[in-house]
A and B are shown apart, each in its own frame.
Chain A
Amino acid sequence: MQLGLSFHHEAEIEGAADRFPSRLDPKLISRDELKKQAFSWGSRSDLSGFTDLALDWLSQETLDADRRRVLLSRLTRPDVPKLVDLILADLKHKHSAGFGSLTVHNLLLQDQLRDLAKREPNLLRQEAFVHACLRRLHPGPESEWRTDPEQKRAYLDLLWEFVEPLAPSFNALKSQVLYHRLDTTAPRASTTGNASSVMSKSAHRPLRGAQVSGTLPQ
């Protein structure tokens, strides 16, 4: 007693019936069962029963419009299965606030933006979408396009290739890009003394996108 020792271990009696379970029922901890419970939490239109870890596989589930919107609003990465399908379906929903209304819209990768534009060409008439595409054309931090004339020209070519076919509502944007394209060749015009040929070449210069990171137009 002074040492505080205790010997409460029960004696193991062979053949005696188990009074307590010794294993978990797989059905109770299966994904389907846990999913059913999680869906029953909160309101019928939210996903409060799920943590963010579940969002990846939830994206492959069939969700109603409200829950799909909640799922998209919680995403913080673009590498989610079927993301383009989900966004497209959400944008077509009557209560959609349009492209750019959700954080994940501006996280989309070039291929995803291109896929969206291909499947919903009207997006190319929306400023938020066009701007998201332009941001994806930005040269990477390793690029020296601001000081390297060739890289700058390649970037400007890339920009021009993207903005040129846009609707007339983007003419101001086109003017700005075209101005910089012409501005980069203007010094050369003064040295060659043949501005008309320089301008002509500038307007039809082939794409040299390999020197910058962007490759959106195709």
Chain B
Amino acid sequence: MTRSSATASSPWATDYSSVTLLPAVTEDESLVADYLSQYFVDAKDFKPWDT
């Protein structure tokens, strides 16, 4: 395993690719944005997500 530049407390700080065979993930922003954009397609407003 190797440490990336992400902070140690971040879930993306550790590279598990050697044990999972999966590419290391360094951030999840784009994936979250993809999902959120789908959530918002049919939404009339942001109220359900307004906390």
Which residues of A does B touch, CB under 8 Å?
A: 131, 134-135, 138-139, 159, 171-177, 179-180, 182-183, 186, 189-190, 193-196, 199
Contact of B16 among A138, A173, A190, A199 (CB under 8 A): A173
Name the residue on B nearest A191 (C-beta).
B38
A172 and B35 form a contact (CB under 8 A): no
A186 and B31 form a contact (CB under 8 A): yes
Q: How many residues of B are counted as interface, with CB atoms below 8 angstroms from the partner's CB atoms? A: 20
A177 to B10, CA, bound (A): 14
Which of B12, B14, B19 has the most chain A CB within a 10 Å cutoff?
B19
B28 and A179 form a contact (CB under 8 A): yes
A189 and B35 form a contact (CB under 8 A): yes
A195 to B32, CA, bound (A): 11
Give 26 A-B contacts (CB < 8 Å), ordered by A residue. A134-B20, A139-B21, A159-B20, A172-B10, A172-B14, A173-B14, A173-B20, A175-B12, A175-B25, A176-B11, A176-B16, A176-B20, A176-B22, A176-B25, A177-B22, A179-B25, A180-B20, A180-B22, A182-B35, A186-B31, A189-B34, A189-B35, A193-B38, A193-B42, A195-B35, A195-B38
Contact of B11 among A172, A190, A196 (CB under 8 A): A172
**Which chain B residues numbered 2 to 24 have a C-beta less than 8 Å away from chain A?**
10-14, 16, 19-22, 24
Cβ contacts under 8 Å, A172 to chain B = 10-14, 16
Which residues of B does A touch, CB under 8 Å?
A: 10-14, 16, 19-22, 24-25, 28, 31, 34-35, 38-39, 41-42
Known: A175-B11, A186-B31. A138 touches B22 (CB 8 A): no
Cβ contacts under 8 Å, A173 to chain B = 14, 16, 20
B11 and A195 form a contact (CB under 8 A): no
| Nearest Cβ on chain A to B28's Cβ, whole angstroms | 6
- 6 smallest CB-CB distances across A and B, nearest first, come from A195-B38, A175-B11, A134-B19, A172-B11, A131-B19, A179-B25
Name the residue on A nearest B11 (C-beta).
A175
B35 and A186 form a contact (CB under 8 A): yes
B39 and A196 form a contact (CB under 8 A): yes
| Nearest Cβ on chain B to A193's Cβ, whole angstroms | 6
Cβ contacts under 8 Å, A175 to chain B = 11-12, 25, 28
A5 to B20, CA, bound (A): 76
Which of A131, A134, A174, A179 has the most chain B CB within a 10 Å cutoff?
A179
| Nearest Cβ on chain B to A135's Cβ, whole angstroms | 6
Name the residue on B nearest A193 (C-beta).
B41
Cβ contacts under 8 Å, A183 to chain B = 31
